[in-house]
Amino acid sequence: MSEEAPDSGRRSLLFGGLKGRDSIKVGDDVIAGNDYNSSSPAFGVIRFQAYKLQRVYYQGVREGLVERVDVESLEAKPPPGCAGYTKYMCLYSSKYHAASGPVILSPADVEVVRVRDEIAESAWLALPGLFWVWLAYTFWRYGEDNGGAFRGLQKPTAKPTVASDELAAALRTLR
């Protein structure tokens, strides 16, 4: 008998990208990996847009009637008695499908990825950028603390010389 640790949900959220992806379940927000009927967005799916996975089901014909059997995730196997049925999913975006309703298509038509997984993978790309920002800030602070080039940038002024004093005296006598 194994019990999960109380913070295992948090760990899977933080380190989900490290140990592989969980299954995509009904209700998850997903990102489309490719276009499907994108010439008419109300009846299709556009690549790199977010959608809500509203339903996953297997559809087939039994005794002359079309039967739809819902499952909980995209990775679910066909339920008993549904061998040979085709899997379908319903994707919905309030931006594109408010008037037409969700788009029904096969998972083979559009590859989808959970938004959470996409963000976890993208976070690893941000780490090198954060390092360079930190390094630039450190150099700037060092310069500020030690009288560097960024402190008090002022326009240089000419220092008076003996020649300029003589010229000023000659101009005063001309007046």
d(CA 29, CA 23): 12
Tell me: pLDDT of 161 over 90: no
Which of these, 19, 15, 46, lies nearest to 30 by C-alpha position? Answer: 46
> Residues 45-63: pLDDT tens digits?
999 999 999 999 999 999 9
Helix 8-19 to helix 115-145 angle (10° resolution) is: 90
Q: Which among 69, 71, 102, 96 has a CA at the least distance from the CA of 85?
A: 69
Q: Where are the domains of the chain?
A: 8-118
Number of H helices, E strands in the chain: 3, 6
pLDDT at 96 over 70: yes
pLDDT band at 78 (very low <50, low <70, confident <90, very high): very high
Written as six digits, the tokens of 25 are 């379940």
Question: Are 42 and 91 a contacting pair, CB within 8 Å?
Answer: no
What sign has the CA pseudo-torsion 51, 57, 61, 66? negative
Residue 84 region by backbone torsions, left for phi larger than 0, else alpha for psi between -120 and 50, else beta:
left
Q: Write down the pLDDT at residue 41.
A: 82
Q: In whole angstroms, what is the distance from residue 46 CA to residue 156 CA?
A: 58
* Predicted pLDDT of residue 166: 81
Q: Which residues contact 74 (CB under 8 A, 6 or more apart)?
A: 23, 24, 25, 53, 56, 87, 89, 107, 112
Least confident of 62-71, 97-106, 117-126, 145-154: 145-154
| pLDDT mean across residues, the chain | 82
Percent of the chain with pLDDT over 90: 45
What pLDDT, on a 0 to 100 scale, did the predictor assign at position 2?
Answer: 43
Which DSSP helix (H) or strand (E) runs through 161?
none
Range in 74-88, 94-108, 133-147 the model is least confident about: 133-147
State the average pLDDT over residues 33-41: 85
